[in-house]
A and B are shown apart, each in its own frame.
Chain A
Amino acid sequence: MKKSFLAGLAALLMPAFVLAGEYNLTVDRVQIDTGDFVKEGIGYNGESPGPVLRFKQGEEVTINVTNNLDEMTSIHWHGLILPYQQDGVPGISFPGIQPGETFTYRFPIQQAGTYWFHSHSGFQEPDGAYGAIVIEPEGREPFRYDREYVVQLTDKHPHSGDRIMRNLKMMPDYYNRQQQTVGEFFSDASEHGFMNTLKDRMAWGGMRMMKADVEDLQGFTALINGKGPDQNWTGIFEPGERIRLRFINSSAMTYFDIRIPGLNMTVVQADGNNVQPVNVDEFRIGVAETYDVIVRPRDEQAYTIFAESMGRSGFARATLAPEEGMEGAVPELREPARLTMADMAGMHGMDHGSMDMSSSGDMPSMDHSGMAQMDHSSMSGMDHSAMMMTEGGASDPFYAKGSGIVPVAANGGKFLSYADLRAQNPLYEDREPTREIELKLTGNMERYTWSINGVKYEDADPIRLQYGERVRFKFVNETMMTHPMHLHGMWSILDVGADQWNPIKHTISVQPGTTVYMETEVDEPGQWAFHCHLSYHAAAGMFRKVIVEGGPDSTQAKTDAVAGNGGEA
């Protein structure tokens, strides 16, 4: 702590040694070949995904972005803490980048870790406009590795983003090919009885909800670093080496369950922030999230990185091997997940009591603090059902109790839960929030409308925050879909019941039928986007503008501007 203070002093005293780097990106029409199909899309510097931008903490970066498209574009630096004018959201941070124009981003790199960047205009991101950011820390990392690879996932679809949005509006189940069939009715009936199955179907039909509504968008080819499963992106290693894999989910819509059969993974970073290491066999990566894991393959063999989509409609596949061309076995996709009534618990007018949801299900953080208390108490207070919460498995405090989409490790081992995440080194003092803001995540699948508190972005007033406050956001998911909520510009401190050790993220997945809390230190002035990161949910209205009132910018900016003008003259 003293050390970092001294480093801070040093930074103050020696401004002349600030690093500076200049980078150039062009936004281009590109061909994207997934192995299954070739599609025109959008990329950076002539390719999709774009280049990996490597920055150093403390560096002043200048990034010249030239728009070679015939439409407006923008780049958002996902997860980076920067002045709001540099955040790259048209209409909120800046006007956007016109065709033919070069826009210059300038901002200091204040953090380290794995991040990514993408267009925030239209559906350019699903069309291919994304890339990775790797920031080297000033000090040493709290872990060791011999080599590192970016593993960037996406769900490339043969249809353009505009067409997908239109099809979803026309037929919300347009892309769902995992709906329950007559055959499934009879197989369920033989397993659970005819009447039970009929009752189950009637209950769902009565709500006009589909158990199979886990993924809105199927029919994609999942890519890793731009390569489809058959193109098999390969990372080389020497047996015995530690490899840091920087997983980034740049998908428009798809969550992935990731495993590397034969290897344990140690999660050391989530959303760019170091976490206390957790050994896992498998983890689920939400849209826009990043996880860094360390693996140590000891044998002279190929290992398959297998990323199944949450709904099991597709998979991404890559390989770690001692030499190019080696391949490991590719597992079969598991059975598609089905929602349960527990996942519907957040819907209005539902009787929570009748579904035995009264005592839990919607308060993961409470559950967990309850567990912490248990830990301090005597042995007799121990409860093995509660222990399961940290073990993940079929029960996870961040899913509704009895949820049908709780992930389970394919090998029966440890599946990462949000509840396992602890900050390695908390960024902020832990303090009481100044107030709570409730955000109900709402929508109507049959109309494909998505909103917050029942109001779409087009009709919504901004959320106003005061500079210097600490706000507690309460997400209540009243829909049957998972929403990765992303606040720009300021950190999202996920409440896992660990107080000062709560992990610091930029994107927080809120599962159906659950309530999740996050806290934000309002320490960046300006205005920011806050939205569901599923591309078609955000476009349909699950989006807000956040205005931070007060703070240094209101007075400081003018002074700076004057100084700036003076300087130029």
Chain B
Amino acid sequence: MSRVRFMTLGLLSSLLLPTTVTAQEMMEDTTARKQALTTWGVQFEEFEYRYSDADEELGVWNADIFYGTDELRFRWLTKGEYEIQEQAYESLENQLVAQTPISKFFDAKAGVRFDTPEGPDRTYAVLGLTGLAPQWFEVDASLYVSNEGDTSAEFDAEYELLLTNRLILSAALDATVAFSEDREIGQGKGLSSTETGLRLSYDLIDRAFAPYVGVVHERKYGDTADLAEAGGGSTEDWFAVIGARIAF
């Protein structure tokens, strides 16, 4: 009953104040809200100084810069190892990939990878899968085909153990398998190398700046190890690392 009264009053007032009700067409929503949300981010999983058991000093980074929507993200994945005494890049790798969801927790990605370290360069086509596996393992698997026609695969996994909500122990494993030999860049067939890292970090400023210390173990296997030895390099290294995870 009181409702009826309200409506009457409403009609009445619209007659009194005609400007409130214009015969405007019901508009289409063309605001940003109706567009796909674009977002960006920069994450340095590793930004560190490494000191090896053979007195080798390295500056190392591993970063992910992305831009895009839920459906399509463009990522620039960059990582490198800089030999401080030799003033040379032991490795330098840049990937540009486009990424799209294919299941609830996984994305497919495709793009190109440019390796431009000291020594021969390589360009690869990349096809990969990245996402969150059960039990909170962040995994990333990529298949590469180089401009020399060699194929290889890389598998990354990372797990974070929360000692407290800010003190975090993270374990990372990176393994590379080659399906054919590329002697020029020192890669043998089969399981060629692994890098295992254990880092203890503390979230100092939000999740934007988290300094850490840790150990990293690098090892080369099989023909790759033989090629390294033949070149006078080491096949197994232990590093003490100090650095920071950075995100903005």
Contact = CB atoms under 8 A, between A and B. Distances in A.
**Is there direct touching of A and B in the complex, by C-beta distance under 8 Å?**
yes
Interface string B36-52: 11011101000000000
Interface in B133-187: 134-136, 161-166
B117 to A, nearest CB: 29
Contact of B207 (A60, A94, A171, A563): A171
A523 B21 contact: no
Nearest to A348: B104
Interface in A198-241: 202, 205-208, 219
B3 A427 contact: yes
Nearest to A108: B13
Interface in A306-357: none
A457 B33 contact: yes
Contact of A92 (B15, B27, B70, B105): B27
Contacts of B14: 83, 556, 560
B18 A527 contact: no
A182 interface: yes
Interface in A455-470: 456-458
Contacts of B24: 85
Contact of A558 (B8, B23, B32, B70): B23
A566 to B, nearest CB: 9
Contact of A166 (B15, B31, B39): B39
The range of chain A's interface size is 35 or more
A15 interface: yes
Interface string A411-425: 000000000000001
A258 to B, nearest CB: 26
B204 interface: no
B162 A179 contact: yes
Contacts of A85: 20-22, 24
B1 interface: yes
A564 B207 CA distance: 57
By DSSP majority rule, is chain A's interface helix, strand, loop, or mixed?
Answer: mixed
B201 to A, nearest CB: 14
Interface in B67-92: 70
A96 B33 CA distance: 13
A231 B196 CA distance: 50
B19 A206 contact: no
A527 B26 CA distance: 7
Contacts of A552: 11
B200 to A, nearest CB: 12
B102 interface: no
A371 B4 CA distance: 33
A539 interface: yes
Contact of B12 (A15, A207, A456, A527): A15
A466 B88 CA distance: 71
B55 interface: no
B101 interface: yes
B169 to A, nearest CB: 9
A110 interface: yes
A561 interface: yes
B246 to A, nearest CB: 12
B58 to A, nearest CB: 27
B54 interface: no
A181 B160 CA distance: 10
B125 interface: no
Nearest to A425: B2
Given A205-B134, A547-B26, A561 B164 contact: no
B59 to A, nearest CB: 25
Nearest to A202: B135
Contacts of B206: 167, 174, 219
6 contacts: A86-B20, A166-B40, A174-B207, A177-B165, A178-B165, A182-B163
Given A8-B1, A167-B207, A457-B33, 13 more contacts: A5-B5, A58-B9, A106-B20, A107-B13, A110-B9, A111-B6, A167-B206, A170-B41, A177-B165, A202-B135, A458-B35, A523-B7, A540-B37
